[in-house]
């Protein structure tokens, strides 16, 4: 995959969906955000933290750096507003990272080791794709927890993103 505009769109969509999710989470009672639920990532809050951690891990892989995370549930930031600020910063960093990559760098193979010790290799373009897909996957889990909390779930799929771009007068997604 060499289409940087497509990858940038994935990262932009991911950032938009994260922002929409955080906005909806901020409207929940705080006890619902951190309430333990029958889900592998424990709570809405831990799930949101997981998404940030995984983005940090994969950015580190792509930059040839390691990470210190020990579990899928590591929590470094306890405050929702601070977590949201870190999320925004990461989304900005990911967009800037994609912007600076050449076609050759997108094709480069990145070796990685997951938290559990399993390792593998993916092209940098597939690592970026993974971040967007991973984000959508876990935002689905978080949406399920909204239902458990009796709250309206965020609506954050691609057609909604496309409408949001159009309504804001922003450039459309690539064809």
What domains appear along the chain, each with residue ranges and CATH number?
4-167 (1.20.120.450)
Whole-model pTM: value is 0.94
Residue with tokens 């792509």: 62
Q: Report residue 112 as tokens.
A: 């990685």
Output the pLDDT for position 2. 63
CB count in 10 Å sphere of residue 74: 15
Range with the lowest mean pLDDT among 70-74, 162-166, 167-171? 70-74
Report, as an integer, the average pLDDT of 123-143: 96
**pLDDT digits over 34-77, tens only?**
999 999 999 999 999 999 999 999 999 999 998 888 888 899 99
| Burial class for 70, CB neighbours closer than 10 Å (0-12, 13-18, 19+) | exposed
Output the pLDDT for position 77. 96
């Amino acid at each position: 995959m060499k289409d940087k505009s497509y990858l940038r769109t994935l990262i932009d969509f991911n950032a938009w969906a994260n922002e929409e999710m955080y906005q909806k989470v901020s409207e929940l009672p705080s006890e619902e955000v951190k309430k333990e639920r029958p889900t592998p990532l424990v709570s809405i809050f831990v799930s949101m933290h997981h998404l940030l951690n995984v983005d940090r891990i994969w950015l580190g892989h792509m930059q040839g750096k390691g990470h210190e995370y020990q579990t899928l549930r590591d929590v470094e930031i306890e405050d929702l507003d601070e977590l949201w600020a870190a999320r925004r910063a990461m989304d900005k960093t990911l967009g800037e990272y994609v912007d600076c990559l050449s076609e050759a760098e997108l094709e480069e193979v990145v070796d990685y080791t997951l938290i559990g010790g399993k390792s593998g290799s993916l092209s940098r373009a597939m690592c970026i794709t993974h971040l967007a897909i991973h984000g959508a996957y876990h935002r689905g889990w978080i949406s399920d927890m909204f239902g458990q909390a009796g709250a309206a779930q965020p609506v954050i799929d691609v057609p909604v993103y496309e409408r949001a771009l159009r309504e804001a007068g922003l450039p459309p997604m690539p064809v």
